Amino acid sequence: MIKFYDMSEITKTVNDVTRHDVDNIMKQNNFIYDTKDFEDRFKRFTGANYCVGVSSGTSALHLALDAIGIRKGDQVATVSHTFRATVAAIKYVGAKPVYVDIEPHSFCMDPLLLKNTLDDNPNIKAVIAVHLYGNSADIEKIADLCKSRKVKLIEDCSQAHGTFKQDKHVGTFGDIGTFSFFPGKGIGAFGDAGACITNNFEYSNYITEARSWKEDEIGYNYRMSTINARFLCHKIDHFKKVLHEKREIAKKYDEHFRNTLVNLDVEHSYHIYSILHPHRDKLMEYCKENGVELKCHYPLPVHKLPAYKTDKYSLPVTDIISQQQVSLPIYPGVNWERVVKVIKEYDDVSFAVRAEKRNKYGKVDENL
């Protein structure tokens, strides 16, 4: 069976140094606070002025919303086609999500629809733009919209390690960028971990204090462990090679499926290689029976999950994508030829047709 994700080729490059780190941490009894080396490396990696390591991508989102002043009853615009943590963080601070539909070619927030949403909801105080699957949202337009309306912008970069737009790493366009280092992410930790990056000293200082209980008001237990910080340092050092291999596999997939389309000014990091198929569930079952594990991200948008369910919004593109989206295995060492063979045994027609239909959504390489 070709697993959807297999980290063995990635983690074996850091096994020896990690064992050495664990030994040193045990000797020093320094289990929590030694995160500065990681924070320095990651801020250099992203080009941000400040980085604060935290316990998870969800806690990073929570702290970011808290830092920019989002409180109970406030409105925050975001997308429903995302992992539920994006919306959970909004709920944590007592705010209300206002959903914006996505673009059909990027799977990210549609800036035109965001404009309409901001016009219709003048009380919105913040936007969370999600850079999904390793792609970039049209973040420059989104940032301009937020700036012109004095609305704060958080970038959820949980799936976008190594994603650049116009040679600038995502997460540095808005007020705060948040990252998850869940083990399956591009730069995966030794368990759960996350980070906030920003160019604003006040936000950085607030998050640094709030992650560890704070002194003058209620804070949180959102610290990053030392072993995660050390492990992430090694993963950053090796990530360039991992990212190159994933992009090479994506090029091979593009030759056969061609319906993951990327704007010319975006360097996609391919946390997920996504395709669409009108009979998604049947395709996934066929591939499983023939030794290839596929996944779906995500079968239900957040606004249709039981804990977040609302009938208030019409999100037609989100609904279509959630019904047809399929994720292919993409990691160093994967047998991509076998993946292609099994998928095309099931259907060798739909992908070219769907690619032709989706080209009209713009700003893509006409040679695709």
Output the pLDDT for position 34. Answer: 93
CA dihedral sign of residues 184, 186, 192, 196: negative
Output the pLDDT for position 355. Answer: 44
Output the pLDDT for position 362. Answer: 34
In b/e form, how buried is each residue of 128-148, taking b as 16+ CB within 10 angstroms?
bbbbbbbbbbbbeebbebbee
Length of the chain: 368
Q: Which of 167, 193, 195 minimizes the C-alpha distance to 41? A: 195
C-beta separation of 6 from 200 below 8 A: no
Q: Which CATH class is domain 240-361?
A: alpha beta
Q: Mean pLDDT, 10 residues at a time, over the chain (368 residues)? A: 93 86 88 94 98 98 98 98 98 98 95 98 98 97 98 98 97 98 96 98 97 90 96 95 96 85 90 95 97 97 97 96 96 97 85 45 34
Output the pLDDT for position 215. Answer: 83
Output the pLDDT for position 361. Answer: 34
Q: Which CATH number fits domain 8-233: 3.30.230.10, 3.20.20.70, 3.40.50.2300, 3.40.640.10?
A: 3.40.640.10
Output the pLDDT for position 20. Answer: 87
How do the domains of the chain map onto residue ranges? 8-233, 240-361
Residue 329 to residue 346: CA distance in whole angstroms: 17
Residue 166 to residue 150: CA distance in whole angstroms: 24
List strand residue ranges (DSSP E) for 119-218, in order.
124-130, 152-156, 164-165, 168-169, 176-180, 194-198
Output the pLDDT for position 363. Answer: 35
Output the pLDDT for position 73. Answer: 97
Q: Order of strands across the sheet with 164-165?
A: 168-169, 164-165, 266-267
Q: What is the DSSP letter of 215?
A: S
